[in-house]
Structure 1
Amino acid sequence: MLLSSVCLSVVTIYCIFTSANAYKSFTPCTGDEDCIGLQDAKCKGNVCICNGSRFCKEEVKTPTVTKIGERCNTTEECLPLQSECGPNNVCTCHEGYVEEPSGRKCLQVSEGMGSSCIEDVQCYTKTAHTVCRDNKCDCHEHMHHHNGTCYNNVALSQACTTELECSLTHAAFCLRGKCSCLDSHAPNRNATKCLPVALGHGASCEDDVQCTVTLGGASECHQGTCTCKEMYQLKASIGKCVRDMLLGDTCAEVSDCHEPFEGNTTRLECILGVCKCQPSYVEVDGFCINSSGKEASSIILCVVLSVLFIFL
Structure 2
Amino acid sequence: MMSDELMEVSCIDDDQCVYYEAEDINSICLNGICHCHNNKTNMKTFCKPKTLRRNNIIGGNCPCKIPDAKCNLLENICYCIEDYVPTKDRRRCIPKEVPLGEICATDEQCLASSIFSHCANNTNRCTCNDDFQRKGTTCLAKTAPKVLGLKCTVENNCTEHGSHKICLQDIDECVCEQGYVRANGSKDCLPGKTIGENCLVTQQCNIKMGPGAVCENGKCRCEEEYAVVKKQSDASPTELICERLVQIGQYCSHHGHCHNGHLIEKEQLLQCEHGECVCRFGNKNQEPCSTSMANRVMAYNICSWLMLAAAVFHCLALGCGFRKY
TM-score where L is the length of structure 2: 0.36
Report 1 or 2 for greater relative contact order, CA contacts < 8 Å, sequence distance ≥ 6. 2
TM-score of the superposed pair, with normalisation by structure 1 = 0.37
